[in-house]
Structure 1
């Protein structure tokens, strides 16, 4: 399988599971509320410390509860430890569960990238927030990345700023690979800058012409 097929499968799975959990939570389904509560416990922690959560992460239960989808075959690891795609799915879903806590609208926003969301946050808050983003970008271990991500997500939640968790999962999969990490970091930095500067209104564009 190509990387493109793998990343598409990962993005679709994570987005579908998050959308399902949000719809079920919004409808007051107790099972979804309980699952989100359990997933929150893993936010900011490495998945090897919470192996029981991987069972939740790697299965998508459809609306009729009879048809369950397993994690995409091309994304599955073959050893005794989670691979990059499984860690990415775990990270996206546990952080979403934290992000969605006490929020009425979905924090999965398909139109906003992770970097842009953080840029919007920094533009609306103290500049010291940028240091946390920089710390995430320079983190060398999985423990450190998870720690800074939890901190950032908590602040995004406080301002109700969402982002595309499906794309984030793909980014996080590639972030773990030394050969593709710089590409992800470059894009996150660019998207951060786009989010930092608010879009110009049509009126302001007209006056500058």
Structure 2
């Protein structure tokens, strides 16, 4: 992605440039409301809204009527490509025009991310939950900025009809960074916003209510509630699609996260240790559970216990002492993992063996290990798990 020149970034961040057009429109609307005048736009804003709607379906920079509404400048005449920011602003302008055209109230609402907007759309019951999620997932899986804009063009009129607004300044920056590494944070923010349970996290010392709210206790993780059923295969496939991907960036997995987070962390798409650990555990469980009806989550089976049972089973099946030695060597490499990423890599090679042998694993314990293995605030944690799991291995293999 072509980064914005530093001077242009400074102009936006210091406010010395003109506000974005949708911000000007919001200011005009609010002034008229304060003055208790009829809630409508002035002639300049109304004419400009017609101009941006004319740009729908056109390439950025080709709609002459929109050029005065851009706040990102066109590149030099000799440039072969437009800046991502200019193209993003073109799409943001046209989306705002479509959204505002179908609405009776101001649609630029500061602080409302796309995930939150879709959550409100679902809560309005203007569309079914599955219909909302199909549209949000389509946007989240767009391969490039142009495809994303096409999906959003079909979504914003639905938001307008349900009376749901959107922060277009925020959307502009998300569009501008879509084809770069910041896409992951955007996706995570959309998913966490959309799945926000709306239950505030507790203050220190607060008591639990009858529903478990107010204590910070997380809902039961997926692996503890898993049971055979018609959707089992689809759910495991959805979880498996997140293997090797950053937590929160796979739309198919959004519904399966149970990690509790503050609204502020959800809203900005923070990648916390808790979320990353749950994500890794979910993808490992999906691989482990494949082809099995009996749950592969069993409390008390640490990775050491599971590997030891696997070694014992191999010896009983006639593989001999060499199989036990080989598994112990493989498990020893796992124990030397210096960080969580390396630990997950070794677990991915162990899980298929456990799956094949039908040996279960305690995923609550595993998630806790993934959460704290390389946490600098807990320097002795990895050593504790190494010693415990090594002891568990020998106990299970020789009992």
More deviation in 108-117 or 97-106?
97-106
Alignment of 1:107-122 (within 5 A): 107-122=107-122
Task: Evaluate the alpha carbon distance shift between residue 143 and residue 84 of structure 1 in structure 2; reply closer, same or farther with a 3 A threshold.
Answer: closer
**Structure 1 position 144 matched with structure 2 position 147:** yes
What is the CA distance between 1:206 and its match in structure 2? 6.9
Distance 2:144 2:157 in 1: 20
Distance 2:140 2:150 in 1: 12
Distance 1:132 1:11 in 2: 35
CA distances 1:101-120 after superposition (whole Å, capped 9, x unpaired): 15342111113222211122
Distance 1:84 1:110 in 2: 23
What is the CA distance between 1:20 and its match in structure 2? 1.9
What is the CA distance between 1:17 and its match in structure 2? 2.2
Structure with larger Rg: 2
Normalised TM-score (structure 2): 0.41
More helix by share: 1
CA distances 1:10-61 after superposition (whole Å, capped 9, x unpaired): 7966854213234557555323212101212334x35348432541332xxx
Secondary structure of the corresponding residue to residue 184 of structure 2: helix
**Structure 1 position 175 matched with structure 2 position 178:** yes
What is the CA distance between 1:144 and its match in structure 2? 2.1
Secondary structure of the corresponding residue to residue 175 of structure 1: coil
The aligned counterpart of 1:39 is 52
Task: Evaluate the alpha carbon distance shift between residue 146 and residue 72 of structure 1 in structure 2; reply closer, same or farther with a 3 A threshold.
Answer: closer
What is the CA distance between 1:150 and its match in structure 2? 0.7
What is the CA distance between 1:192 and its match in structure 2? 1.8
Task: Evaluate the alpha carbon distance shift between residue 102 and residue 48 of structure 1 in structure 2; reply closer, same or farther with a 3 A threshold.
Answer: closer
**Structure 1 position 100 matched with structure 2 position 113:** no
Greater relative contact order (CA < 8 Å, ≥ 6 in sequence): 1
Task: Evaluate the alpha carbon distance shift between residue 15 and residue 121 of structure 1 in structure 2; reply closer, same or farther with a 3 A threshold.
Answer: farther
Secondary structure of the corresponding residue to residue 140 of structure 1: coil
**Structure 1 position 82 matched with structure 2 position 95:** no
Distance 2:107 2:10 in 1: 21
More deviation in 79-88 or 157-166?
79-88
**Structure 1 position 52 matched with structure 2 position 35:** no
Distance 1:121 1:106 in 2: 16
**Structure 1 position 131 matched with structure 2 position 134:** yes
Distance 1:28 1:109 in 2: 16
On the 8 A contact 2:145/2:175 being kept in 1, the answer is: no
On the 8 A contact 2:52/2:66 being kept in 1, the answer is: no
Distance 1:101 1:23 in 2: 17
Distance 1:118 1:94 in 2: 19
Distance 1:126 1:137 in 2: 19
Count of paired positions: 187
Secondary structure of the corresponding residue to residue 195 of structure 2: helix
On the 8 A contact 1:14/1:165 being kept in 2, the answer is: no
Alignment of 1:2-81 (within 5 A): 6=9, 9=12, 16-24=20-28, 26=39, 28-43=41-56, 45=57, 47-48=59-60, 50-58=62-70, 71=71, 77-78=75-76, 79-81=79-81
